[in-house]
Structure 1
Amino acid sequence: MMVDLEIRCLIVLLAAMIDVVWGELPTRFHPVVWMGNFISMWRDRCRFERPIARFMYGVLLVVTGCLLFGGVGLGGQLLRWQIQSWPVSVSSVGWLLFVALVSLTLVTGCFSIRLLSQAGDSVSRQLLAGDLAAARQQLAYHLVSRDTSQLDASQVSAAAIESVAENTSDSVVAPVFYYLLFGLPGILVYRFINTCDAMIGYRCERYLWLGKAAARLDDLLNWVPARLTAILMLLCRPRQWVCATRVWWRDAGKTASPNAGHPMSAAAGLLEIELEKAEHYVLGQGQRQPTGTDIKAMLRLFKHSVAMLMFVLIPVVLCVQWGIT
């Protein structure tokens, strides 16, 4: 039997290929959809007004969801370990294949490689066609939650590039990182907390206290993956390494998020563009303004980073594992 890390690496590679070829799973099989429905149910039932009560309700939401989805993952992992201890037979192989298929489905649902690429491409195509209104609409629908109605073409391009860069970490690198480290419970717990942050982790009156626990946990869990993502991007463009590293080190801390600035500033340095969110930050200051063509370049960098992760770093992890054992 293969050791656990080897099985996880195989499942990650298969899940990534399935996501790239077929895209998102059907809604009824999609773990992130289940998580979103669970969070929406809890969010809509919150009737507390006091900040401390809303904060504790948010903590309870996060803990309950982590126990639920992490428990599903742990159950699947324990079942597979139990089956692996059975004598080899048609029955044991059948059960092992079933558990592996369920695991593969859940892991595939935690990636968004094709969806993110299509979202960025839809904005780029509208900009290159000269349809700024449609580009704003696509940006708001697929990639950002901010108001896009007053953004000019370079600001739309910058927002799309920032979102693709940040989601390279959130939607690919971090899920792989936590799956390789902690297996199925690790990736499901990470994805639940990340989904919580995406749905309620905002600094507005409604969510400031309700989503605070989810937002802080998401910051903690993304600390390593965000920096790893920046390194992956740099490895994909060694010729721009010196300039890009300078921009990364200088600008990574300018964003309100302790993590988002790392892949975003690395991307700004590699693409030699300025990324600005009005009244918040400027990354790569002094470089040229981005265009729709730069979104295409960011998507190529995204794909190269995913390929680097899947076909270089994962084999390196396996070689280290084999060397240790």
Structure 2
Amino acid sequence: MEISGNNLKGELIRNSRKLIEEVFKDDPSYKRVFVWKLGLLKPEDYENEPTIDIRFYGRKYSVSDGMTVKFQTCMNTPIEVGDVLYDIQLDLYLMCIESFDIDETHFQGKLCYCNWILKWQNESGDILEYPCYDSNSTQYNSGESTNRQFTIGSSQHAIRLPCDGNTCSLSSPKRFYLDKATKNPTSFVLTQNDTTSYNYGKKGIVKLTLLESLEDSETDRPDLGICDYIDKKEQDSSGSDKHSEINYKTTIIKSGGSFQRFYGRFFIGNVESDEVKCSWEVIYDYADRLNISIKDNYIEIGVDDDFLVDDEFKLCLHDEKGEYSSSYLIIKIGRLF
């Protein structure tokens, strides 16, 4: 059966789209919002940006997604999983976590309210700021681990960010601030970047797992909201980014078990420097009870003392001349069985 040169299905789709578009703005749930782009974080940044028509409805709270709202848009303004919208009236960001094409007539889905702006520096020294959804994923403990030497927080957070080149490239041991306090804010270190679990559509979402970390008073800048800050002017003048990395299999050393090996690597930008000599430092009151062997560019650490089980210590990597930024790990001593 043909109608106006199209099949019946095509005609029904066309009529449905037309009806939705004609009455879309009459609904009380109708709003105009902006699509966030990197670099747009203030209301004045959006003065010359185009808006999209959208309907918000079905607001609710869930433990997994926080505050959420369902949405509807016309076919000519699709919203993809990973898109971030900006509601200028409420001054808030919303991230798309579900999006469906409903029979080619309109889009429906779900947005979660962003509750944090994550900041970090890329390899060029530029400060990046991304709206994100932060949830506390600490379980089965009080968020604090205590041993005989010092007390260190063990809280864990999960961060959802729009997937792009900047967020996909994040890796351990990148550190971030997750704290509204301006004095002694809590910092967290990245332990996992999951780039596949929310890989829906053309964009998607990355999920970062962050573990509470120690502060670094020499490089952290709470006033800027940046951990391990590098002065871009100094970096540009030197023409290079000199940094170090510790490569490892695990950060748990079992008492009575095999030695764990940690490799030190140094880079100028993305190019590895092979001739830099490692200088290792173990910060631990009972360091003399550890079995430590240093060879060339790696250090091996073992322990055979159950008295030290559940203790933690800090392993630091420097270069002998002090030309590269330092790296560190928190190592935990576990039981063999």
Fold match, TM over 0.5?
Answer: no
- Alignment TM class, shorter chain as reference: under 0.3
Higher-RCO chain (CA-CA 8 Å, sequence separation at least 6): 1
The structure in which a higher percent of residues are strand is: 2
TM-score computed with the length of structure 2 as normaliser: 0.21
